[in-house]
Structure 1
């Protein structure tokens, strides 16, 4: 359950309607082209200042959805409006307003955290000195000591690299933050650091957050509403308590299994 009550606006920060995406793969060198639908018509909305979590197993379409919203993929159907702008028509404007953190964040590993962050700042046209000060403040709140700021990324742990990725996403103070499994693979302390920081960020800035995860406890702790994504479809959504009541279960995992017919834990074990 959420530990901090946050104000949620009445205006919509995100509107997704009938979003579809298909990947086409050829079977062999001269084989038939096979279509795999990652998203089969997903619709939902997120209000300003709200944290909305999409829960689903691997292969459910979570990452494809985030990549589309991040302007990294083009959809094959549907409509998306974020912050009053449309995709793909306004993607250039949106890129300057969105923060994105993925489970596989890319860096120049030979460069230091400082160099990576200042390079990102240059791409956004930010002033280097002010950016460095802001980056240090964010990293300290995430639990990284200032003395590590000059260390190469390749010498940092997975958890520390993910904290650098979060810092990079927040340099522009984005009103909308897209998080694709941001705590996957982190140790328990790093996971708590990141989750606590996200709660504090929303409390201070009123940031709208879309979170994809397969961590039930994380979704229940951070989100106002949760959507269950399975097989490229949004099969249910609501507060954690509403979903449990709808499924007649005492926990969110039981609700997910009851409403989607899929076992999240079994899927994870098979993909390790």
Structure 2
């Protein structure tokens, strides 16, 4: 569905004036990214601000043209076959709407039908399906400007899917949504991927979206692909601390284990009888639990693995354990300052 091979996108950056002219230096926003997405996959595309995510999305949709490298989406060159690709692609930008601001949502969706040339009967059936799945019925007659953010996002999803695209590209689709609206959008995306086989590429800063929806993640940092694989593999790859939550029989002083040696573990937080101990990398959780049970009257113990936020932060810092396929060794601080070449 998506084939990217050595894709580069450079932008000229103006520097200090030299004589009568300013110098121009190319900035590589995307730097040699290569990956493929197979039909039916649900892939998360992650990275910190400025990593190159939105630039990649714009190249995939034909808005921008790659400086070099090869890029094909649905078998087409996005920049040369943009109109043909639009009929096979659905796009949602969370911070922008494709709906007509002053028209009722129903009329906006009718205009979308005409733009894509969808037959009337096919449109009626598809709209009825999307209306039920996204719970649009109560506000189909409401002007778009009067919709809440969650309602408008559901309208944008319907507009992106009215022509039944093979690939759905989402850029921050849950940004600013409340808990209920997020749950509705997530349930819908999960369902169309599972039941209709729609391929979905999702960029987001909401890591709850990733943990709930994506079986595979691509992570970019400084324009380069830093990771390609599953979330569980990512957790094993990055050395992130685990936390042991201990509930004692009664409140007491902070727990200290290890007798002051190099393996010393001390509670970093306590609330009444409950205390939190951060296990250093490589610590044997079974041995720690055994020592706890021997020294304290314990009611309950829970071991919490690192959350995806901590794992990603570790990856950006360069804390991963190995360098292998799809996981290049992180660049040094000097390399990271030299993005402009």
TM-score scaled to structure 1, two decimals? 0.85
Asked if structure 2 preserves the Cα contact closer than 8 Å seen for 1:49 and 1:207, the reply is: yes
- Secondary structure in 2 aligned to 1:20? strand
Displacement after TM superposition at 1:242 (Å):
0.2
Q: Distance in 2 between matches of 1:39 and 1:160?
A: 33
2:326 corresponds in structure 1 to: none
Q: 1:253 aligns with which of 304, 309, 313?
A: 309
Q: Is the 8 A contact 1:118 1:128 kept in 2?
A: no
The corresponding residue for 1:267 is none
How many residues align structurally?
A: 249
Task: Tell me how far 1:261 sits from its aligned partner.
Answer: 1.8
Query: Is 1:187 aligned with 2:243?
Result: no
Q: Larger RCO: Structure 1 or Structure 2 (Cα < 8 Å, ≥ 6 residues apart)?
A: 1
Please name the residue that 1:230 is paired with.
221
Work out the CA distance in 1 between the residues paired with 2:204 and 2:214. 11
Q: Could you say what the CA RMSD is over the residues aligned between the two structures, in angstroms?
A: 2.0
Q: How does 1:61-80 map to 2 (within 5 A)?
A: 61-80=52-71
Q: Which has the larger radius of gyration?
A: 2
Shift of 1:134: 2.2
Unpaired segments of 5 or more residues in structure 1? 1-12, 263-272
Structure 2 portions without partners, runs of 5+: 241-305, 319-341
Residue 122 in 1 paired to residue 114 in 2?
Answer: yes
Aligned residue in 1 for 2:168: 177
Residues 21-49 of structure 1: per-residue CA shift (max 9 Å, x gap): 12224469964334332111111111111
Q: Distance in 1 between matches of 2:177 and 2:91?
A: 18
Equivalent residues of 1:24, 1:34 under 8 A apart = yes
Distance 2:134 2:33 in 1: 33
Stretches of 4+ aligned residues off by more than 6 angstroms: none
TM-score, normalising length from structure 2? 0.69
Structure 1 Cα separation of the partners of residues 83 and 143 of structure 2: 31
The one of 11, 15, 37 aligned to 1:23 = 11
